[in-house]
Structure 1
Amino acid sequence: MPDRKSSAHETDAEGRSNQKRRTRQALIDAALALREEGRDPTFAEVAERALVSRATAYRYFSSVEALVSETAAERAMPLLEHVYRPGDDPAQAIGVAARELNKILLDDEVGLHVMERSFMAVWLENERDSRPARPGRRMKYIRPIVDALKDELPPAARQRLSQALSMVMGSEAVLAVRDIAGASVDEAIAAGAWAAQALVKQALAEADEARMKRGASRRAASPAR
C-alpha cells in the first residue's frame, strides 16, 4: 500500500509550489496591467495591485527592474498555437518555439541579465522551502509539443526529452551561447533552434532503434515453423 504520509507530503509540496507560481504570476499580471495603463509602476504599486505585501513581492523579484523585464518577456511571448498546432511536425515546431523564445530574450539582453541576476538573488536570499519556482515559460511550449509524441515515445523518454529541451531554450541557454560560446545574436538563435530539433530527432531515432531490437528479439524467441 502507498505510504499515506508520503503521499500527503507530496500533495502539500505540490500545493505550495502551485501557490508560489500563482503569486509570481499575480505580480507579473499586476505589473502588466499597470504598464498598460501607461504607468511606470513601483514595487509598492505592483504589490498592492497583486494583493500581496511588499515583503512577499521582494521574495519573488529582487528589484522592480527585474519585474518589469519579466513583464516585457511575458507580453512578447506568442501563444502556443502560433508556433504549434496539432498535426504539425514536432521537430519543426520545437525549432520554431526555440527560435521565438530565444529571440525574445536576446532582443533585450540587458533585461535578460537583470532577470537572471534576480533569479539568482531570490534563490540565495530565500530558504529552500520558501524559494519561489522559476517561471518556466519555455515549458509552455515544450510540454505540449513533446506530449504530441506520445505514440512514438514512452513516458520516460518524453520526460527526458523535455528535460533536455529545457537546456537549449530560455535565459540560461542564450546566456551560455552568447557569453561563453561567443556567438552573435543570429548565431545564438539559430543554434538553439538547431539543438532543439536535433534532440527531438535523436529521441525518435532511439525509440525506433529500441522498437527494432524488441522486434528482432521476439522473432528470435519464436519457434521455427
Structure 2
Amino acid sequence: MSTGYLESGRTRQKQRTRDQLIAATRELITAGDTPRVEEVAEAAGISRTTAYRYFASQAELLAAAYPETAATSVLPDPPPSALDERVAAVAGFFIGRVQEAEPQQRAMLRLSLGEVPHELPLRQGRAIAWFVEALAPTADSLGDEGVHQLALAMRAACGIETRVWLSDVAGLAPAQVSALQQWMVDAIVKHALTTPPPT
C-alpha cells in the first residue's frame, strides 16, 4: 500500500483497518497457513477490494506481518571486549527472535522459496550486520571478506532454515534447537580462530 493512501483522510480508521488485516494475518500464520490477501480479508471481515488497497500482494502482506526490529546493533552497552561474549550475545538475541516469531518466520521461508521480491525481511540481512559488528576484533586477522564469510556461517547456523531442519527432521524440542544453534555458533568461532573461513 502506498504511504499516501494511509496518510490521506480518515487516517485513524485506515490505520485500524490495516492493523486488523495484519492481526488476522498473524493469526492465520500461527495456525500454520501462508495466507493470501483474500483469505486474510475474509478472516478480518473486510472486503477483498479494501484489503487490496492496503496490500497489493501476498508478499507485501506477509512482510507487514513479519516481526521486525530496526536495531542496528544488538550488543549490550557497553559491548564486551571478549570475542566469544560478543558473538554469544548476538547469537542469543537472534536465536531468541527466530524462536519467538517461528510461525511468521516459517511463512516467510515458505514464500521465499518461490518468486519473492528481494526486499522481503528474511532476505534483508540484518543479522549478518550484527554478526559482523560482533566480529570486529577479528578484522585485522581475517580481513573484511573473512569476517563477512564468518558472519554468513553464523547466520546460517542460527537462522530459521536450520531451526526448521533441527525441529522437523531431527525431531529436537524447541529448547534443544536453540541450545544446539548457540553451540554451533560457538564452535564456528573457536574453529575460525585457528582456521579462517574460505574467501
For residues 119 and 84 of structure 1, what CA distance do their matches in structure 2 show? 34
Identify the residue that residue 178 of structure 1 maps to in structure 2: 167
Give the letter for the 1:141 counterpart: W
Q: In the alignment, is the contact (CA less than 8 A) between 1:168 and 1:192 conserved in 2? A: yes
- Show the 5 A alignment for 1:36-185: 39-41=19-21, 42=51, 44-45=53-54, 54=56, 58=57, 62=59, 64=61, 66-70=62-66, 72=67, 74-75=68-69, 80-83=73-76, 86-123=79-116, 131-133=117-119, 134-185=123-174
What is the Cα deviation at residue 63 of structure 1?
Answer: 6.1
Give the letter for the 1:166 counterpart: R
Give the letter for the 1:114 counterpart: A
Q: In the alignment, is the contact (CA less than 8 A) between 2:158 and 2:181 conserved in 1? A: yes
Moved more, 193-202 or 79-88: 79-88
Structure 2: segments with no counterpart, 5+ residues = 22-50
Structure 1: segments with no counterpart, 5+ residues = 1-25, 48-53, 124-130, 208-225
What is the Cα deviation at residue 190 of structure 1?
Answer: 1.0
> Residue 167 of structure 1: SS of its match in structure 2?
helix
Q: In the alignment, is the contact (CA less than 8 A) between 1:95 and 1:197 conserved in 2? A: yes
For residues 75 and 149 of structure 2, what CA distance do their matches in structure 1 show? 25
> Residue 149 of structure 1: SS of its match in structure 2?
helix
For residues 84 and 163 of structure 1, what CA distance do their matches in structure 2 show? 24
Give the letter for the 1:110 counterpart: P
For residues 162 and 71 of structure 2, what CA distance do their matches in structure 1 show? 19
Q: Deviations over 1:95-117 (max 9, x none)?
A: 22222212222223322221111
TM-score, normalised with respect to structure 2: 0.62
Q: In the alignment, is the contact (CA less than 8 A) between 2:65 and 2:104 conserved in 1? A: yes
> Residue 121 of structure 1: SS of its match in structure 2?
coil
Query: Are 1:192 and 2:181 an aligned pair?
Result: yes
Identify the residue that residue 12 of structure 1 maps to in structure 2: none
Q: In the alignment, is the contact (CA less than 8 A) between 2:83 and 2:134 conserved in 1? A: yes
Alignment size in residue pairs:
151
